[in-house]
Amino acid sequence: MPTNPFAYEGHTMKSVWLMLALGVTLTGMNNVNARDNKPTATPVDAQSTDDPFLWLEDIRGSRSMDWVKQQNAVTTKQFVNNAEFVKTRDSILEVLDSDARIPYVNRMGDELYNFWRDQAHPRGVWRRTTLAEYRKAEPKWEVLLDIDALNKAENKRWVFKGVQCLKPAFERCLISLSPDGGDAIAVREFSIPHKAFVKGGFELPVAKTQVGWIDENTLYVGTNFGPGSMTESSYPRIVKQWKRGTPLSNATTVYEGKPTDLAISAYHDRTPGYERDFVSVAKDFFHSELYQRSGDKLTRLDVPTDADADAHREWLLVRIRSPWTVDGTTYPSGALLATQFDSFMAGNAHFTVLFQPDAHTSLDSYAWTRHHLILNLMDDVKSRLEVLTQPLMATPTGDWKREAMPGAPAMSTISVIDTDPDHSDEYWLDVTGFLAPATLERGVLGNVPAETIKKEPAFFDAAKFTVSQHFVNSKDGTRVPYFEIAPKDMKVDGSNRTLLYGYGGFEVSLQPHYSGSIGRAWLERGGVYVIANIRGGGEYGPQWHQAALKANRPHAYEDFAAVAEDLVKRGVTSAKHLGAEGGSNGGLLMGNMLTMYPQLFGAIACEVPLLDMKRYTHLSAGASWMAEYGNPDTADWNFIKTFSPYQNLHKDTHYPPVLFYTTTSDDRVGPVQARKMAAKMQAMGISNVWFYENLEGGHGAGADNKQSAHMHALAYDFLWDQLK
């Protein structure tokens, strides 16, 4: 699924903040980028520690940066300054810059909007066209904002981070720009008719900001209002209402949270006839309180704090993460429930079950159209869609009509990437698989069947490969799935260079997805690529995620190790030919493969990782993840220390070759953890420890396609070289 720069539109504010705070980097797949605006660590003298590498926590200090430059030079000499690397990098960049890629669009009114990067526009252009024009092989685009031209004019290095436009006219927009690809953004008001920033319009300096339209002269703003206005997780603690023409300092406080909250936000639903205001108080990653705001009065929606509540027109949908008993009926974890919003707020909690999970099926996502609800389901991690039609009368126990939406290929992922819920039953689908380039389909429910509008080109010869799904029992007997993409003529003799990828956290699912980069940089070389759907993810709903929370975190590592062992048992590969790769939370997974299971792997690529779990809550946005891992400053350390790679290194252990890569501008996880891990291993005399740090790019590791291609090529070439 493509990264959508219009992410705020159509999401609850809880989901927006989860996207912003979530440390997710899926190499070759989706990137979610971020930045911080607070000190990156608590003062060292406030910590009881004998860590000799604390000086590397001074992110931009001269001593730290001198170390980074020295490490980069060594790694570059070994893996970058050669013809093979240039070939790999250029082949990936050709994919990322290809003019034949699908220009994914977002509808606003009568126009289709797209953000596009290529060789001529490395930082990108924001542009639009009409549906009739978009259907053409080479549509004509109206460029609204050229980020490269803006950077040249302002002598900046802005990275486009998204836009919110005021409906229904969609003429005034709030554009978010990051100075280096991180989470902290500057916000500027933009006029589409004038194709220019509004002189004297709304403008906010660089900070971790949440902002949204109330009307053309009023915004909700959560930002850095000064000392104490941000949470310990580095997100807004205070949300205010800001009137045009007044200084931000005069904005009216709507809600003030606690320093220990994750984030506070507010939003206005402008759906005609159903205008409502809400305040979201995110307590942690998986618990929040949602309030309806009427004037100065806040009324809490009485749903479990670990549930997602979504008000849409006359409906309220509640997606629950734990069993919930209402009026004598207990609904299971992972269910999606519907009721009439006004009736619920009046105290009548009568629900209709729209989805109920089973042992093989979970709800991935849903999307509204004007008269329907599209459910995106996963059956053993493979997609299928169902269409629910709203009852003619919005009663709490109304009868929803249900039917399957056909057309999902085997081993595929289908994503609803856009709908027009205010006006029509139009929908846009992205359909992809490991060997099937993405197709973009458009339809209108009940009127126009889905038709292919655009098709991604093939970047490698898929006919040479085959996809299979396998299951293995983990240490405790849990059945764990994994996907394998391999040459059709693969010899089952343990000789194949195999790359095993994993994530296993934050209820994020790894689903079938086409990647020209992986195809070119790994498969076409003769390699085997494997994705492990381990616990901690969302492949089987909330329970699959909760099975690896906090003290249960090692279950995710046992699952990944079980997949590695099964690949060897089946003859696909052997330990010396098996590599592992993961980023962010997946970087923590890699750190634990390194320290817990070094005998299983021939090399490991550990990207933008968490590694020092003793200090993670004091580094960048780490405090926001305590609901996932626990609090190391409490008795939780008794279990956290068992999966903290930085503390679990031992001088007398043989470790496989490892590459750590990160970015200076990553203000979500931060570069500190990778730096310290590499430095500690090198100080122990451990050989084959490599480190590389990009200056830009935030948590996604690249501010443009060229930087992304460089980082991915470095990982693939390192692994290929070490696994020979």
Structure token pair of residue 625: 């993840």
Pairing of strands 218-222, 372-379: unpaired
What six digits make up the tokens of 223? 């930002």
Query: What span, in angstroms and rounded, lies between the C-alpha atoms of 202 and 188?
Result: 6
Q: Are 612 and 622 in contact (CB under 8 A)?
A: no
Residue 349 CA: distances (Å) to CA of 319, 325, 337, 390: 14, 11, 11, 18
Question: What counts of helices (H) and strands (E) characterise the chain?
Answer: 14, 39
**Catalytic choice (555, 699, 710, 712):** 699
Residue 216, both tokens: 């053309």
Annotation marks residue 371 as catalytic: no
* Cα R_g (the chain), whole angstroms: 25
Residues 6 or more apart in contact with residue 163 via CB below 8 angstroms:
5, 6, 113, 126, 173, 174, 175, 176, 190
Q: CA-CA distance, 261 to 425, in Å (whole number)? A: 38
**HSE-up of residue 81 (Cα within 13 Å, Cβ side):** 7
Tokens of residue 247, six digits: 């200084």
ω before 645 within 30° of 0 (cis)? no
Look up tokens 């003799």; give the residue.
Answer: 493
Cβ-based neighbours of 75, under 8 Å, separated by 6 or more: 659, 690, 691, 692, 714
CB of 547 closer than 8 Å to CB of 572: no
Answer yes or no: 699 catalytic: yes
Q: What is the CA 399 to chain-centroid distance, rounded? A: 35
CB 331 within 8 A of CB 323: yes
Count of CB atoms situated within 10 Å of the CB of 497? 22
DSSP code of residue 391: P
Phi, then psi, of 367 in degrees rounded to 5: -145, 135
Torsion, Cα 253 255 256 262, to 10 degrees, reads: -130
The 3-state DSSP class for residue 676 equals helix
* Cα–Cα distance, 718 to 84 (Å, whole number): 11
What's the one-letter identity of residue 582?
A: G
Q: Per DSSP, what are the bridge partners of residue 146? A: 125
Please tell me whether residue 675 adopts helix, strand or coil conformation: helix
Q: From its phi and psi, is residue 234 left (phi > 0), alpha (psi between -120 and 50) or beta?
A: left
Residue 398 has φ and ψ, to the nearest 5°, of -60, 155
Question: At residue 438, what is the residue type?
Answer: A
Ramachandran angles phi, psi of 564, nearest 5°: -55, -45
Among the listed residues 494, 644, 639, 486, the one whose alpha carbon sits nearest the alpha carbon of residue 566 = 494
**Residue 530 CB: number of other CB atoms within 10 A?**
24
Residues 12/308, Cβ–Cβ less than 8 Å: yes
CA 484 to chain centre: 23
Amino acid occupying residue 350: H
Place of tokens 């220019």: 196
User: Max Cα separation, the chain?
Assistant: 72
Residue 673 DSSP SS3: helix
Distance CA 1, CA 492 (A): 32
Q: Which helix (H) or strand (E) holds 426?
A: strand 426-433
CB atoms within 10 A of CB 96: 19
**Phi and psi angles of residue 234, each rounded to the nearest 5 degrees, phi first:** 80, 20
Q: Which residues are catalytic?
A: 584, 699
